[in-house]
Amino acid sequence: MDGDSFQQWKNQCLNKCDFSKKGSVDEDISHVVSFINSQDRYFTTSSCSGRIILFDAVSDCPDVQKQNCSWLFVTHQKCQMEDVVRNHIVRGLEKSVGDATFKFEPFVLHVQCKQLEDAQLLHTVAINSGFRNSGITVGKKGKIIMAVRSTHCLEVPLSHRSHVLVTHQYLDFLVGVANQKMEENLKRIQRFSECLQAALQPQEEKCSFKEADNKTVYRRRRKRTQDVSVTDSSQNTQEHHENTEEEIDCDLLFLL
Amino acid sequence: MDGDSFQQWKNQCLNKCDFSKKGSVDEDISHVVSFINSQDRYFTTSSCSGRIILFDAVSDCPDVQKQNCSWLFVTHQKCQMEDVVRNHIVRGLEKSVGDATFKFEPFVLHVQCKQLEDAQLLHTVAINSGFRNSGITVGKKGKIIMAVRSTHCLEVPLSHRSHVLVTHQYLDFLVGVANQKMEENLKRIQRFSECLQAALQPQEEKCSFKEADNKTVYRRRRKRTQDVSVTDSSQNTQEHHENTEEEIDCDLLFLL
């Protein structure tokens, strides 16, 4: 894509009205979004720092897209006072008329990139920061989007036909688990932010960075020890899967 | 990448030992994997049809990668006899010495592609079949991988420090929810398989297919109605996110 078209696209996107009621990006990622948008070769098209939500859906509806969800509780922050949050969730569950589900959704970011190699660089940074489900989309008209996505997940059904199926003790534990995931999510965002700045800084600064840090960040490879006690092919599918992702990492590690 | 290098890579990959104990791909996707590997421009590097698992991890360990998981139960099929499965899970939980978690993991497939446009075509098929977290990876040495990934998720903590936190009634409900997700997963695999065959069939056949079906499959756009009852910016972030993905769809819809 030529420079003028990309810049026009960028201006159009960044100047258009933010349709969110908040009217701005989430606090925990505003520095990342600003930094990306300050670069000539990138601009962000959507983002969410991560959130904990409780939503209600129509019971016994097999079609996910027709469940007509309503939201009972949502926060983008780590829950500082877990008992207060637990009470919010309990009150939310009292309003449930269908199947209520508790969910943690991690950081997600979509970035439009000028050239494919710009997307590759961003993808490398995302993978090495722990966002292993990241990927590139190339549209028919040349639009290149890099999506930063995590493998993090937590999705817990809590009620069925408005009948709550779990105890308060379980809700306390669940909020703690979601908090741990939110904390890990924030660490990864921080790592992504630091790696991104290092990768996009001017060439002369980058050299000194690489000398100092290439053994700590970019050469780091994920190794997991796994004590497997069930004999099933899926473990090996998983291992195979892991190996494949490691291979991808190897290819990408020295792109910067 | 030139044709010879790709073919060598493909031969090497497909002829090497399958490290899984099962020694073969999962039954529900063997036809998809075979079809892809019969094409000159593609070969699969890893796959899993989807599974329901129960695993045990070290309690109070904030580092996901150091949890040293052991697996207590796993199946790749929809649970035909839900009470039998529930009993398997109950027995699995009795063996838990840490934090046991129940999880549904959807279909995942990694395909190495000859050229970027081959990856784009596969990506279009994946997105239009419902695998909305799919994405392309381009390695430094020119290796192009298309990952088919779903947004489907279910991850439910069941015990803490070997103490079970939920009732048998809840486990019954959970197995039902996982079964619904497994069913939807299989429908999407079927849709992916059909779209893929249509997209990769010879040109003359494709024309007649397009005339007959282009209004039903490729022109279909996701529209969701959402009754939102909590005032929070995240809803709009989500809507914005949805819109962005729809835009991507629009770009990709007529690639075939």
DSSP line for B130-145: T-TT-EEEE-TTS-EE
Interface contact A173-B157, CB threshold 8 A: yes
Do the beta carbons of residue B160 and residue A173 sit within 8 Å?
A: yes
**Reading across the β-sheet that carries B51-57, which strands appear in turn?**
A70-75, A51-57, A99-105, A154-157, B154-157, B99-105, B51-57, B70-75
Interface pTM, i.e. ipTM = 0.79
Written as six digits, the tokens of B182 are 């497994």
B161: left (phi over 0), alpha (psi -120 to 50) or beta: left
B256 touches chain A (CB under 8 A): no
Q: Which residue of B has its CA nearest to A22?
A: B233
Do the beta carbons of residue B10 and residue B44 sit within 8 Å?
A: no
Nearest CB to B230; choose among A20, A74, A138: A74
Question: What does the alpha-carbon distance between residue B155 and residue B102 come to, in Å, rounded to a whole number?
Answer: 6
Q: Which residue of B has its CA nearest to A45?
A: B244
A45 touches chain B (CB under 8 A): yes
Do the beta carbons of residue B99 and residue B68 sit within 8 Å?
A: no
Q: Which residue of B has its CA nearest to A154?
A: B155
Instruction: State the smallest CA–CA distance between residue B212 and chain A in angstroms.
Output: 22
Multiple choice CATH, B3-219, 3.30.70.1230, 3.30.1960.10, 3.40.50.1820, 3.90.180.10 = 3.30.1960.10
Instruction: State the smallest CA–CA distance between residue A86 and chain B in angstroms.
Output: 16
- Partners of B118 on chain A (C-beta within 8 Å) are none
B3 touches chain A (CB under 8 A): no
- Residue recorded with tokens 């701005």: A24
Which residues of A, range 188-247, sit inside 8 Å of B by Cβ?
222, 224-241, 243-244
Nearest CB to A233; choose among B20, B62, B228: B20
Q: What's the number of CA atoms in the CB half-sphere (13 Å) around residue B246?
A: 11
Looking at residue A165, its pLDDT comes to 95
Question: What does the alpha-carbon distance between residue B107 and residue B91 come to, in Å, rounded to a whole number?
Answer: 26
Task: Give the single-character DSSP code of A19.
Answer: -
Q: Nearest to residue A237, comparing CAs of B28, B193, B146?
A: B28
Question: What does the alpha-carbon distance between residue B215 and residue A206 come to, in Å, rounded to a whole number?
Answer: 51
Q: Which residue of A has its CA nearest to B22?
A: A233
Looking at residue A65, its pLDDT comes to 61
Looking at residue A235, its pLDDT comes to 33
What percent helix, strand, coil does chain B show, rounded to 5? Answer: 45, 20, 35
Question: What does the alpha-carbon distance between residue A63 and residue B14 come to, in Å, rounded to a whole number?
Answer: 37
Looking at residue B62, its pLDDT comes to 59
Instruction: State the smallest CA–CA distance between residue A144 and chain B in angstroms.
Output: 9
Looking at residue B120, its pLDDT comes to 97
Looking at residue B67, its pLDDT comes to 64
Written as six digits, the tokens of B114 are 């000859």
Do the beta carbons of residue B127 and residue B248 sit within 8 Å?
A: yes
B58 touches chain A (CB under 8 A): no
Nearest CB to B241; choose among A46, A231, A243: A46
Using 50 as the pLDDT threshold, list the residues of chain A that sit under it. Answer: 207, 209, 211-256
SS3 B70: strand
Domains of chain A, by residue range, sit at 3-220, 221-256
Looking at residue B51, its pLDDT comes to 93
B53 touches chain A (CB under 8 A): yes
Write the CB contacts of B208 (distance below 8 Å, at least 6 apart in sequence).
Answer: none
A17 touches chain B (CB under 8 A): no
Q: Over its length of 256 residues, how does chain B's per-residue pLDDT go in tens digits?
A: 676 789 998 998 888 877 665 667 899 999 999 999 999 999 999 999 999 999 999 877 656 565 678 888 888 887 766 667 778 888 889 888 899 999 999 999 999 999 999 999 999 999 999 999 999 999 988 899 999 999 999 999 999 999 999 999 999 999 999 999 999 999 999 999 999 999 998 766 654 545 444 443 333 333 333 333 343 333 334 333 433 333 333 233 333 3
- Partners of B226 on chain A (C-beta within 8 Å) are 68-69
Interface contact B237-A45, CB threshold 8 A: no
Question: What does the alpha-carbon distance between residue A145 and residue B44 come to, in Å, rounded to a whole number?
Answer: 24
What is the domain class of A3-220 according to CATH?
alpha beta
Side chain identity at residue B62, one-letter code: P
Question: What does the alpha-carbon distance between residue B145 and residue B139 come to, in Å, rounded to a whole number?
Answer: 8
